[in-house]
């Protein structure tokens, strides 16, 4: 397997550090618009393993499909791994197909609001542009695996696992994400510093959130709808969660049978307030505005003013949790409620990988998927989501101790009535 990774930001840098521990690939080309950043990622990752020589750095303009194609062909790439923000999904997606390579991403093509009823009806949905090419990818015998980060990604794997092993019928697949992360400045004062790209956070949280229901299909709600306090495991505790636009809602119903699919994010009061203010001031807009004769995107300015998520790890404490709450009827015919989850402690990810926990948790999952594809455990053609594949090999490889697996266990809490059991089920 010869991999072209596009992006050497927080997630891309963490992914390279995970890649070097594995033996399933022949070449990893790390490409970025900032070649120096790609070179730094390659150097840091290669230093983690004695004699490592499989990594290369390169320049690429991710907005140019032809440039992606040329770089992939230059290195005889078999798999293009998209590790940049979703603005660049389509040129990378198209560039990979033109090069005859398979493709993986962690966020899908962008949505467009319904022009008349944005808070009731969907417009162009996340991933619609990619799924429109499903037949062409299948005809080429190539695979585009969409949304294989943590959310989407691991959450979707959890959904497939629950459908195959835990439930006879599912009422709701509800992704629930929360954390107790705190970032402080040099003086110890708590500061606002999102653990993930603010560009992506704004896109997810201020767009009309999408919900899917069996009898209604996809529909939208106002931003921050239906707040609920969700109790997260491993000491994180209760966090207020609200609906946001997210890929799981667009992926899970394509392969899994459920009455309802939702995504709620534990934003917290401060984040919600800041996002509302950015929207009120027009600072969430992507369309350039003229500032003293210079055209700039307000959202890009906001991103530039905040700390780079790749750099905040040393000043961050706490844990992040990605998970899926599944309700329905268990295999025994009784009502069941299960929370499948994955927790990463920032202290651990910084100590082991020099990467803050949010980006590490995102980065590990596409590496696991690529290893399964390299070994033939997963295979397919067309445009597919993680739900299209057997979940058990993924979860086993993720949790297995190193060097066999990735040493990152997942958990299960049975929150069913009259049940306090917790742990990995046998079926």
Least confidently predicted of 1-5, 167-171, 250-254, 286-290: 286-290
Predicted TM-score (pTM) of the model is: 0.91
With beta carbons less than 8 A apart as the criterion, state whether 156 and 248 touch: yes
Residues 6+ apart with CB under 8 A from 131: 383
How buried is 287 (Cβ within 10 angstroms: 0-12 exposed, 13-18 middle, 19+ buried)? exposed
Q: Which of 68, 66, 90 is nearest to 79 (CA)?
A: 68
Q: What is the pLDDT of residue 422?
A: 37
Tens-digit pLDDT profile for residues 321-349: 999 999 999 999 999 999 999 999 999 99
Report CA-CA distances (Å) from 302 to 20, 151, 183. 34, 23, 18
User: How many other CB atoms are there within 10 angstroms of residue 236's CB atom?
Assistant: 20
The predicted-structure confidence for 261-284, as pLDDT tens digits, reads as follows: 999 999 877 888 888 898 899 988
Across the range 403-416, mean pLDDT stands at: 96
Give the domains, in start order, of the chain with CATH numbers: 2-104 (3.40.50.720), 154-361+408-414 (3.30.360.10)
Q: Once rounded to an integer, what is the mean pLDDT over residues 80-94?
A: 96
E runs forming strands in 195-334? 210-213, 217-220, 228-232, 237-243, 260-265, 289-291, 294-296, 316-317, 319-330
- In sequence order, the 6+-apart residues with CB closer than 8 A to the CB of 221 are 119, 208, 209, 211, 243
Average pLDDT of the segment spanning 408-417: 93
The pLDDT-based confidence of 424 (bands split at 50, 70, 90) is very low
CB atoms near residue 30 (< 10 Å): 30
pLDDT tens-place string over residues 130-169: 999 999 999 999 999 999 999 999 999 999 999 999 999 9
């Amino acid at each position: 397997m010869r991999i072209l990774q596009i992006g050497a930001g927080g997630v891309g840098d963490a992914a390279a550090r995970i890649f070097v521990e594995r033996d399933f690939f022949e070449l990893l080309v790390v490409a970025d618009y900032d070649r120096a950043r790609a070179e730094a990622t390659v150097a840091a990752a290669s230093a983690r393993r004695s004699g490592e020589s499989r990594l290369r750095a390169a320049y690429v303009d991710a907005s140019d499909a032809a440039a992606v194609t040329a770089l992939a062909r230059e290195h005889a790439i078999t798999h293009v791994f998209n590790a940049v923000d979703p603005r660049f999904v389509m040129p990378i997606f198209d560039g990979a197909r033109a090069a005859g390579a398979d493709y993986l991403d962690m966020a899908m093509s962008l949505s467009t609001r319904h022009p008349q009823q944005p808070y009731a009806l969907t417009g162009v949905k996340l991933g619609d542009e990619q799924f429109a090419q499903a037949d062409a990818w299948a005809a080429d015998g190539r695979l585009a695996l969409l949304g294989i980060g943590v959310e989407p990604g691991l959450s979707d794997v959890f959904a497939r696992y629950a459908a195959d092993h835990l439930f006879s019928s599912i009422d709701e697949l509800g992704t629930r994400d929360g954390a107790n992360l705190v970032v402080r400045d040099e003086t110890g004062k708590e500061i606002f510093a999102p653990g993930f790209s603010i560009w992506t956070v704004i896109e997810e949280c201020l767009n009309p959130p999408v919900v899917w229901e069996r009898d209604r299909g996809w529909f939208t709600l106002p931003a921050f709808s239906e707040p609920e306090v969700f109790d997260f495991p491993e000491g994180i505790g209760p966090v207020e969660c609200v609906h946001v636009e997210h890929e799981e809602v667009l992926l899970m119903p394509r392969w899994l049978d459920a009455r309802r699919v939702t995504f709620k994010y534990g934003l917290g009061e401060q984040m919600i307030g800041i996002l509302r203010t950015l929207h009120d001031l027009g600072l969430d807009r992507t369309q350039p505005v003229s500032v003293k004769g210079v055209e700039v995107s307000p959202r890009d300015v906001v991103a530039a003013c905040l700390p780079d998520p790749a750099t905040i790890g040393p000043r961050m404490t706490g844990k992040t949790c990605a998970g899926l709450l599944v309700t329905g009827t268990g295999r025994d015919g009784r009502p069941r409620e299960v929370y499948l989850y994955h927790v990463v402690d920032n202290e651990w990810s910084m100590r082991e990988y020099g990467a803050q926990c949010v980006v590490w948790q995102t980065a590990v999952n596409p590496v696991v998927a690529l290893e399964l594809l390299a070994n033939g455990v997963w295979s397919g053609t067309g445009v597919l989501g993680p739900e299209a594949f057997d979940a058990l090999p993924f979860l086993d490889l993720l949790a297995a101790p190193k060097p066999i697996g990735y040493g990152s266990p997942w958990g299960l809490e049975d929150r069913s009535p009259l049940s306090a059991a917790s742990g990995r089920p046998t079926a």
